[in-house]
Every structure is written in C-alpha cells, then in structure tokens.
Amino acid sequence: MRARGFTLLEVLVAVSIFALLGMAGYAGLDAVLKARARLDDENRQWRAVALFWVRLERDLTAFVERPARLRGSAPLAAFLGEPNADSEFAAQLELTRLGASDAGDAPPERIAYRLREGKLEWLRWPALDSAPRAEPDVAVLLEQVAALEFSYRDAAGLWTPRWPPNAASAQPTAVKVRLQLESGEVLSRVYAY
C-alpha cells in the first residue's frame, strides 16, 4: 500500500486559508486595541473634567475677602472676573482663597483660571503681595478645551460676564461656568454662595 500525502495544490490552499484567517484576526485585534486606546483617552479626559469641577468648587468655597498685590500692582479685588484676559498672567477668574493646608494655618493664596491655546490652566502665586518679577505656578487641568466662560450673579440677581461690576461689590452670589470641549460637548455648572 502506498502512503498518500498532500498535493502541492492542497498545501497552497491550506496556507492561503491560514493567511486569510491570520489577516482577519490581526485586523480584528488592531481594531480592538485602537478602540481601547480611544476609550482610555476619553476616560482620562472625563476624569480630568471631573477633577476640574471639584477643584473649582473647592477654590470658590474657600474664597476669602483679601485684596492682593501681584507683581507690584495696585491692590486687586479679592474676586475678579475678566472675560477677555489677554496679558501674560491675566486670567478669566482670579480670587483669593484660604491656604491649601489641611491644618488650616496656611496663609491665603491667590489662584486663577484661564484658557490658553486650548488648555485650561490653574495659576497659583507664591504670595498675595508678591514682588514685581514673581511668577505664578501654572498647572494644566484640561486639554482640548474650545471655550471657557464665567458669569457672575450680583445681589440683585443679574448675571454679568465681568466681576466686580462696581466698586461696592465684593463677592458674587453665584458663579456660572460654561465649558466647551473641542469634541463638541458643552458642560455647565452653577456655584451659589
């Protein structure tokens, strides 16, 4: 009896089928890995958005009525809102807050929020009354941000994009924040005092 093997044609068909299955498997694995990377990026972005809301709320609730002199300037109001912040260290929201120490004995500090080149930044000055060349520490809280808008409610219940609306106003009764991501989502929050 003669041993029978595979013909060359049968081997070529089997190798071709195996190659097609391998390519389909690779394409499927590649799609899964890309989807996972996209989900990780989105998860990271949404986690950063949540941390931004928490930080902003903490800063707003720690507000303290204490003017500041930054970089040798004239006294600045304890709470400032400027929609068109265009100088180097200008910010859309700037305020004095209690120090960040858990023991409660830290001195007040000046912090600010601004949008610059698609990045939402948090600024903290080394002292409330700082020298002319003192620069703030800058931390990027969020990337891929299209717009950041603050509105402030006065004692009469009117909303304004700038704070203080007059010299007699110390602190708004509420702050409304509108955040638009580059991906199109628009998020907003209102913080009332």
- Over the stretch 44-78, which tens digit does the pLDDT of each residue have? 999 999 999 999 999 999 999 888 887 767 888 88
CA separation for the pair 155, 189 (Å, rounded)? 19
Phi, psi dihedrals of residue 33, rounded to the nearest 5°: -65, -40
182 is written with which tokens? Answer: 């580059």
Note the pLDDT of residue 102.
Answer: 55
How many other C-beta atoms can be found within 10 angstroms of the C-beta atom of residue 8? Answer: 8
Tell me the average pLDDT of the chain: 87
**Antiparallel, parallel or unpaired: β 93-97 and 109-116:** antiparallel
CA separation for the pair 184, 186 (Å, rounded)? 6
Peptide bond into 164 cis (omega under 30): yes
Residue 167 pLDDT > 70: no
Phi, psi dihedrals of residue 169, rounded to the nearest 5°: -85, 125
> What pTM was computed for the model?
0.79
